Amino acid sequence: MKFAEISPETTQALVNASLDPGHTVDLVKRAFEEDLQGGEDVTSVATIPADHKSTAEYRVRVNGVIAGIEVAKVVLELVGITDLETRVLCAHNVEAGTVILTARGNTRALLLAERTSLNFLGHLSGIATLTRKWVDEVSEYSTRIRDTRKTTPGMRVLEKYAVRMGGGTNHRMSLSDSALIKDNHVEAVGGVSKAFERVRKLYPQMEIEVEVDSLDQLKEILVHKPDLVLLDNMSVDECRQAVAIVAGRCKLEASGGLSLENAKAYAQTGVDYLAVGALTHSAPVLDIGLDLKAEI
């Protein structure tokens, strides 16, 4: 399949969203290749004249937060659809029935783009919607909702973008961004202090986060002045005690056993972050459909 170029406007919109245009285009092209398998859309080719024109409306079926409009426009532009009207900006709450994007052009191209564009839109908007629920739940506190590396392979940048659209904040994008000493590192090296000292020696300027599973371990690591401590599977009361022990000497992140039902209780303890893997690994797809109207 021969792809068209994406417009300078869409390229800039991706950059403004902190998305790499080349990476995004590559993801979309691979999605098309997966759909076509070197062939063509046999149903559309058989039923629709090559010069047929239509208007497509992307309509949200349920209430939610929108993310991925820029990616959907990449999908459409790559197949030659350039008459696009953005009706809703990303990060906005919308009600069921809202048209978020309108596309006009060749009907075969619109239908070729339909599923791929909806896959991206629905997935990213689902993440943004779930993130917003968590953010709203703790909004009266200073605690921030943060994602993890529990992302779909190849989709991390887009999924973390969707978290931002929902009002959440990103943890490290990759293993090279910062150090996070977890239980398996501690087990392998023979102690949390030893692990910390080795990271600090090799990477003296690197931000270091340390996972602890007890208050005693927290006290041990505080001597080394970590930037952040992850409180792994600690109760609300333990988190409250941890905040008192740390007394502002480093940031604290609660992780494990969190839910929307107990998010507020954890935020009340004064921890700085709630780490929520579910934002990216368990967010339901937001129901968005494409309504096609043929031009007579």
User: Can you give the CATH number for the domain in which 269 is found?
Assistant: 3.20.20.70
Does the residue 242 lie in any domain?
Answer: yes
Does the residue 268 lie in any domain?
Answer: yes
Q: Are residues 147 and 244 located together in one domain of the fold?
A: yes
Q: Are residues 64 and 158 located together in one domain of the fold?
A: no
Structural domain boundaries, residue 67: 8-135+283-294
What is the share, in percent, of the chain residues with pLDDT greater than 90?
A: 98
- For residue 293, list its beta bridge partners: 55
Among candidates 80, 65, 77, 58, which has minimal Cα distance to 8? 77
Domain count, the chain: 2
Task: Output the average pLDDT for the chain.
Answer: 96
Report the distance separating Cα 270 and Cα 265, nearest Å: 10
pLDDT at position 240 is 98
State the catalytic residue, choosing from 209, 211, 253, 272: 211
User: What band does 296 get if pLDDT is binned at 50, 70 and 90?
Assistant: low
Note if 182 is an active site residue.
yes
* Helix then strand then coil, % of the chain, to nearest 5: 45, 20, 40
Note if 197 is an active site residue.
no
Distances (CA, A) of 12 to 16, 25, 74, 271: 6, 13, 12, 37
Distances (CA, A) of 130 to 59, 136, 158, 279, 284: 19, 10, 15, 6, 8
Supply the pTM of this predicted model.
Answer: 0.96
The predicted-structure confidence for 65-76, as pLDDT tens digits, reads as follows 999 999 999 999
Note if 150 is an active site residue.
yes
- Check the CA dihedral 245-247-249-252 and report its sign: positive
What is the share, in percent, of the chain residues with pLDDT greater than 70?
A: 100
Q: Are residues 143 and 106 located together in one domain of the fold?
A: no
State the catalytic residue, choosing from 29, 53, 133, 150: 150
State the catalytic residue, choosing from 137, 147, 209, 232: 232
Residue 127 near residue 163 (C-beta atoms within 8 A): yes
Note if 232 is an active site residue.
yes
Does the residue 35 lie in any domain?
Answer: yes
Q: Are residues 102 and 162 located together in one domain of the fold?
A: no
Note if 219 is an active site residue.
no
Q: Are residues 154 and 111 located together in one domain of the fold?
A: no
State the catalytic residue, choosing from 20, 30, 33, 115: 115
State the catalytic residue, choosing from 182, 194, 225, 249: 182
